[in-house]
Structure 1
Amino acid sequence: MTETTSPVPMTGTYRLQLHAEAGFAAAQRIVPYLADLGVSHLYLSPVLQAAPGSMHGYDVVDHTRISAELGGESGLIELAARAHEHGLGLICDVVPNHMTVPAATYLNQPLWEVLRDGRDAGTASWFDIDWDLCDGRIGLPFLGQPLDAVLAAGELTLGDHAGDPVLRYHDQVFPIASDTAGGAVADVLSRQHYVLASWRDKAEILGYRRFFDVDRLIAVRVELPEVFHATHRTLIDLHRRGVIDGFRIDHPDGLTDPEDYLERLRAATNGAWVVVEKILEGDEELPRSWTTAGTTGYDALKVIQTALTPPTGAALDEQWREVGGPTTLQETELESKSLVIDRLLQPELHRLVRRATGAAADAGMPLETPDVEAALRELLVHVSVYRAYVRPGHEPSQEALSELDLITAKACAARPQIAPTIEVLRRLLADTETTSADGRDLMVRFQQVCGPVMAKGVEDTTFYRFHRLTALNEVGGDPAALEGPDPAALHLWAEAQLDSWPDGLTTLSTHDTKRDEDVRARLLAAAEDVIGWRALWSLVEAAAGEHGVDAPTAYLLMQTLVGAWPLTPERLSEYLLKAAREAKMHTTWSDPDEAYERRLLGLGARCLSGELAEAIESWLAELGSADRAVALGAKLLQLTL
């Protein structure tokens, strides 16, 4: 494990979400306040140059520059100097897994070169591109309708950028390869190193690994030394100069080899303090071999909330059954993971199928493609962690093999007719000594897909369907904690943390948590008053019936109102649309049901005034300071651990 090398001892961080309206200069102004607050480090969101208008910084376009919108390198250096004057250090968020595909693709120069020059580009190795899918071209599903319709409407036009010929589609700009600019638009397009298609055709056309299901975030191959150096040189140099003291690593499970990446980062920074955004499921532990100070703290959030969950699980479970929501968490997760594989992650599944078919043939165990697809799908549906950490060329750990055995057994039980194919895949996924290119790629790529299945299937679908108590439906959280809240788990976790990861982070809120910690605290406090809970639900349920909104969604609405009260109509409406579309039950992001959404928003608006609003305010008054007691108790535990 890494030892802290920061000149400022790490005791506590304060995260700053930077953007154009709140950059380095704004951060400088609050440094004295943060010093008085008692933190040791400012924890900055990503600082490299992101796409224009970015509000978060995770959509990097240029690794060589500090964001101009934030204040540039000079602004960052001034912020560090101001922090150092007050005895504080800087921690910076790093995004090694992906870059953005901006509308004006020339903003991402490494990608621009690949789109222009194809496999001959000097940066062709940078990105995880599926060159075989479109016969050596890159599939880009960025059109609003099929290509023929776009061409017929004259929406795709020829133009120039900085003296070079380009193709334009509304605000999108694509390069044109050398000596291919002559002729009609369709003819020019046919000669490019990319294929443009409708976003609805992504299952067949998308030609690169993404961050989860976000088409505009293309995976970067930092496992290659030259790519690691090019994408990390600026931040490592700032660390060497004493501007940045440590790093938070975004989504390490997307990388080809997280352990190798951390070792390389440690060597490049001479042992900088580094934490990883790692979501641990169940009793899963962070790999002891990782050179990191620990996680960003989701595991702490889970055990703290579990310790503070009220012993009213039986009553709330009965209420949830009466509402008519999904019966079990396990079945909801399986259905949700199955749905996201079929609807959102088809490009990833299809690429896995081709690799698995090739690997099986190389191993002398040829398989039929339809069986391979069905078997891979079933294995992915049953994954229960974000990654198993099987590394080509390294003996797999017992933990990794146990995870593969578990999902294999569950997949075989669910689909016994293809059990032989599933068993073959199990052998291939654990064959770390294989010399087959397809076999090694399958081993890594399968693990890279497990994370998106868990994130989209559990966090972004299950947690919007199974809302028995939404305070527990949190990133890294466990809704099943309602069935057996146990403070003992907190003590066991604390002992293990002190023993193995004493310099890791604890947290109650991050930029990714679905609800603020105060909202969750109020819901935990309210859940103790089952009588009041049921009384309010009876009113919301009646209103939902009048508005034609299903009871489970109305139950989520009730908890949202209680936890976040008071809310503005705009804030509530935005959340309700997001929640309903993430649930994918009655409406979706890709195909919204406008009639259902109008009914839902109408119900939400009704709850903000009149009898329902009075009932909410009356109950919250009865609860008194119970929510503050839970919130302060949680914060005290977090700061103590």
Structure 2
Amino acid sequence: MSGTGPSVGHPQQWARRGADVPTPPSSTYRLQLRPEFDFAAAADTADYLRLLGTGAAYASPMLAAASGSTHGYDVVDPTRAAPALGGERARRELSARLREVGLGLVVDIVPNHMSIADPAANQWWWDVLLHGRQSRYARCFDIDWSAGPLLVPVLGDDGDDGAGALGTLTIADDCITYYEHRFPIAEGTYEPGDNPLEVLERQHYRLVSWRRGDSELNYRRFFDVTTLAAVRVEDPGVLEATHGEVLRWALDGDVQGIRVDHPDGLSDPGEYTRRLRALFPGWIVLEKILAPGETLPASWPVDGSTGYDALREVCGVFVDDTGQGRLTLLAEGLGVPTDFTEVETECRRAVATTVLAAEVARIAALVPGVEPDRARGAVAELLGAFEVYRSYLPEGEQDWARAIARSAERRPDLAGALAVVDEGVRADPGGELARRIQQTSGMVIAKGTEDTAFYRYSRFIALNEVGGSPDRFGVTVPEFHAAAAAREASWPRSMTTLSTHDTKRSEDVRARLAVLAEVPGEFAEAVRGWTGRAGLSEPTLDLLAWQTLVGAWPIDADRLRGYLEKAAKEAKLRTSWVDPDPAFEKEVAAWPDRVLGDAGLSAEVAAFVDRVRGPGWSNALGQKLVQLLMPGVPDVYQGTELWDLSLVDPDNRRLVDYDLRRGLLERLDGGWRPPVDETGAAKLHVVATALRLRRARELTGYRPLPASGPAARHCLAFARGADQGVVVVATRLPVGLAAAGGWRDTVVPLPSGKGEWTNLLTGRTVPPTSTAGFTTAPLADVLADYPVALLMRA
């Protein structure tokens, strides 16, 4: 913890060890590690991933996590590989196996927080509870020691602020115990026979009602999760202590890249990236949510983001913007709000004043000369007014100024207090007031927008995705090309993705839902009828439920019930995690069986799904091929090389059937060209063909290829490679294309040059034609077998 001298991973050590500097992977394949899918199981996938064309396995956090963790983001010990996944020996065997087959490893790290759910499992936190601010680990956590003893919100509350729960405390094994919870007793503060409450009063912490976590917490946490305590990696010693183990793996040649979780929660993300880059010369990407038009600060020495911006662009370009009007009318007719700005503002304000009230109060206390209630009101309003998740001062001065202006416009009664906040931040952009506002704005926006508004604003949920903009109805082809060209010019090694462990629904669910924008009248008529027969009493959840049923069909009652229960609580309209409404939750829980058990109604839903399933497959293949071949380093989320109709976590962390995928891949390698059908083999064919091409050939440059002819708007095409020798063609808006009579004489231009073009998906030569000095290919021929084509010039 000294923070002095060359640390593990320091450039001097890389040079001294003769270690090779890792290069960015050609692609990644995300693996969700858990006790049921551990290091050994991951190693067993190595051969398959190599055959698929993957460049590197991309694993969820691999450090020791809380007992029973299914995701790894609740680290309890950053100094050792997760015992529940097999420990250090199994980790080394995984790395060796990946190297043996020529794959790299990208590791997900969690610098912002650690789990404190079980204090005894986290020795750093245990020591802080035991010794208070004198603990050698006190510097590791962001604790406001001036606020008194450390508050631990763990007690049950029957409306008595936890008083009854305090009466159940006991002392056993030299610990204060509360049911299964154990807390340390400082030396000299306990004698046998002492009253547990009196002993508690002598500690450096206090056990309080769980409800006080949102209003009075005196340690910074991850969003509103009181069992995840924020870590101060701005301290060089803390950075070394929390990152040393992973950097040791990297120095041994086991790590090709690092994915950094939630950088917006850090004190100074820019400085953090500079320190991390000094310790690790490999590929670094940040889980940074970028608003439309926003980019990472150019001063950050990283390779890019984890690709939510690409997800928004790729999925959006397959949405028909002409369907907006009818879907809006449907929502309005059902009583669902359609003004996204209004919904979002309300949700952010609610989050700032309730679940994140403790963070707001801590910031407000730093505002001088303003009455506390007004300071809290001004801070809460400001935190929800940013157009981006976080402003990075001084670089983000315009983002800051716009947020101040929007806050004052919305709440003119708080203009004076906002002016004081503005003056304080501008006077000291690196000070505590500025720093804490920046750290907290992302929390308010994520909780208010992603985790609340996205469940309330259910007009068209295909757009309600992390990093998405539901008020922007899709992405035009010119907008997509401009964004792709900008990524190639500025962030060519940024990750691209379509599904992650955090997405609200999988890429194939979104692809099918996108079809609804092409058949808005049919869908509206169906939903009105279904709602009249079996609608939920809360309109926004009702509309979300029907879209979810269509998007994820076929789905069993248990999966659908779990999703809807979560959606209802996240929306916080009729029930919530904190204040449940048992009667409404009972209605929601009964809905899946009610609908699926009604033979006539479920048959109607199935018939409608039959109408959109084929176009959904077309969209799914199109967006996948585009994502895999566009500028950036593409990621494939586990299992999505076949059709995947998963919903939000934990649904999307289900175990993957790799034996099925191996068998299908073997058939493909034997020459089978699968049809586009329910097996999903066509998607596997697209994924494997594209990933193998990415691994074999460096693709630079980006050139849009605008089609011409009567169906030109239904084509998205571009060229890649230094010689523009790779062409990607995808069908968009397939329902409208079929209704208009197909491609007819629509053509796509092909870059000039010698050599014939072959469609790698079919193996057939593409017959080019020359028109006015340009080489073109008829789309009716190019897309005769699949709704996508991957052309390569010999």
Taking structure 1 as the reference length, what is the TM-score of the superposition? Answer: 0.92
- 1:263 and 2:252 aligned: no
Select between 212-221 and 310-319 the one with higher mean Cα deviation: 310-319
- 1:157 and 2:163 aligned: no
Task: Give the deviation of 1:323 after TM superposition.
Answer: 1.6
Tell me if the contact between 1:5 and 1:272 (Cα under 8 Å) persists in the aligned partners.
no
Q: Distance in 1 between matches of 2:509 and 2:204?
A: 50
- 1:564 and 2:567 aligned: no
Tell me if the contact between 1:8 and 1:40 (Cα under 8 Å) persists in the aligned partners.
no
- Match of 2:399, as an amino acid? E
Distance verdict in 2 for CA 1:22–1:6, change over 3 Å:
farther
Tell me if the contact between 2:115 and 2:227 (Cα under 8 Å) persists in the aligned partners.
yes
Hey, what does 2:503 align to over in structure 1? 513
Alignment of 1:460-475 (within 5 A): 460-475=451-466
For the aligned residue pairs, the C-alpha RMSD in angstroms reads: 1.6
Hey, what does 1:442 align to over in structure 2? 433
Hey, what does 1:208 align to over in structure 2? 219
Tell me if the contact between 1:549 and 1:600 (Cα under 8 Å) persists in the aligned partners.
no
Which SS does the other structure have where 1:480 is aligned?
A: coil
- 1:34 and 2:49 aligned: yes
Q: Distance in 1 between matches of 2:607 and 2:543?
A: 19
- Match of 2:184, as an amino acid? P
Task: Give the deviation of 1:432 after TM superposition.
Answer: 3.2
- Match of 1:209, as an amino acid? R
- 1:375 and 2:375 aligned: no
Tell me if the contact between 2:34 and 2:70 (Cα under 8 Å) persists in the aligned partners.
yes
What is the aligned length? 606
Which SS does the other structure have where 1:430 is aligned?
A: helix
Task: Give the deviation of 1:531 after TM superposition.
Answer: 3.1
- Aligned with 2:145 (options 131, 156, 173): 131
Which SS does the other structure have where 1:231 is aligned?
A: helix
Hey, what does 1:273 align to over in structure 2? 283
Q: Distance in 1 between matches of 2:250 and 2:299?
A: 24
- Aligned with 2:130 (options 96, 105, 116): 116
1:269-299 deviation per Cα after TM superposition (whole angstroms, max 9, x unaligned): 2x12100000011221111111111000000
Hey, what does 2:348 align to over in structure 1? 337
Select between 413-422 and 39-48 the one with higher mean Cα deviation: 413-422
- 1:480 and 2:495 aligned: no
Hey, what does 2:417 align to over in structure 1? 421
Tell me if the contact between 1:8 and 1:88 (Cα under 8 Å) persists in the aligned partners.
no
Alignment of 1:192-341 (within 5 A): 192-269=203-280, 271-311=281-321, 312-341=323-352
Select between 22-31 and 411-420 the one with higher mean Cα deviation: 411-420
- 1:633 and 2:649 aligned: no
- Match of 1:457, as an amino acid? G
Task: Give the deviation of 1:495 after TM superposition.
Answer: 1.0
Hey, what does 1:611 align to over in structure 2? 600
- Match of 1:617, as an amino acid? A
1:209-242 deviation per Cα after TM superposition (whole angstroms, max 9, x unaligned): 0100001000000000110111111000110000
Alignment of 1:74-113 (within 5 A): 74-103=89-118, 105-113=119-127
Which SS does the other structure have where 2:500 is aligned?
A: coil
Distance verdict in 2 for CA 1:377–1:8, change over 3 Å:
closer
1:123-151 deviation per Cα after TM superposition (whole angstroms, max 9, x unaligned): 11110001122x2x101111112342113
- Match of 1:199, as an amino acid? W
Q: Distance in 2 between matches of 1:72 and 1:8?
A: 27
- Match of 1:221, as an amino acid? R
Select between 93-102 and 142-151 the one with higher mean Cα deviation: 142-151
Distance verdict in 2 for CA 1:524–1:203, change over 3 Å:
closer
Tell me if the contact between 1:544 and 1:554 (Cα under 8 Å) persists in the aligned partners.
no
Q: Distance in 2 between matches of 1:418 and 1:221?
A: 32
Runs of 5+ consecutive residues of structure 1 not aligned to the other structure: 358-365, 391-395, 435-439
Tell me if the contact between 1:526 and 1:627 (Cα under 8 Å) persists in the aligned partners.
no
Percent identical residues = 42
Q: Distance in 2 between matches of 1:255 and 1:9?
A: 25
- Aligned with 1:386 (options 377, 385, 389): 389
Tell me if the contact between 1:544 and 1:551 (Cα under 8 Å) persists in the aligned partners.
no
Distance verdict in 2 for CA 1:203–1:556, change over 3 Å:
closer
- Match of 2:511, as an amino acid? A
1:32-71 deviation per Cα after TM superposition (whole angstroms, max 9, x unaligned): 1110110100000000000111000000000111001111
1:292-324 deviation per Cα after TM superposition (whole angstroms, max 9, x unaligned): 110000000001111111131111112111121
Task: Give the deviation of 1:608 after TM superposition.
Answer: 1.3
Task: Give the deviation of 1:526 after TM superposition.
Answer: 3.1
Which SS does the other structure have where 1:43 is aligned?
A: strand
Q: Distance in 2 between matches of 1:615 and 1:544?
A: 13
- 1:142 and 2:142 aligned: no
- 1:173 and 2:182 aligned: yes
Task: Give the deviation of 1:203 after TM superposition.
Answer: 4.0
Tell me if the contact between 1:540 and 1:554 (Cα under 8 Å) persists in the aligned partners.
no
Q: Distance in 2 between matches of 1:370 and 1:535?
A: 49
Distance verdict in 2 for CA 1:628–1:176, change over 3 Å:
same
- Match of 2:150, as an amino acid? I
Which SS does the other structure have where 2:367 is aligned?
A: helix
Select between 536-545 and 317-326 the one with higher mean Cα deviation: 536-545
Structure with greater Cα Rg: 2
Task: Give the deviation of 1:430 after TM superposition.
Answer: 2.3
- Aligned with 1:552 (options 535, 540, 561): 540
Task: Give the deviation of 1:615 after TM superposition.
Answer: 0.6
Runs of 5+ consecutive residues of structure 2 not aligned to the other structure: 1-10, 12-18, 631-794
Tell me if the contact between 1:8 and 1:87 (Cα under 8 Å) persists in the aligned partners.
no
- 1:61 and 2:79 aligned: no
Task: Give the deviation of 1:493 after TM superposition.
Answer: 1.1
- Match of 2:407, as an amino acid? A
Greater share of residues in helix = 1
Which SS does the other structure have where 1:625 is aligned?
A: helix
Q: Distance in 2 between matches of 1:617 and 1:327?
A: 28
Q: Distance in 2 between matches of 1:67 and 1:156?
A: 32
Tell me if the contact between 2:326 and 2:524 (Cα under 8 Å) persists in the aligned partners.
no
Task: Give the deviation of 1:603 after TM superposition.
Answer: 2.6
Taking structure 2 as the reference length, what is the TM-score of the superposition? Answer: 0.75
Alignment of 1:493-508 (within 5 A): 493-508=483-498
Q: Distance in 1 between matches of 2:613 and 2:443?
A: 41
Q: Distance in 2 between matches of 1:242 and 1:45?
A: 18
Tell me if the contact between 2:22 and 2:282 (Cα under 8 Å) persists in the aligned partners.
no
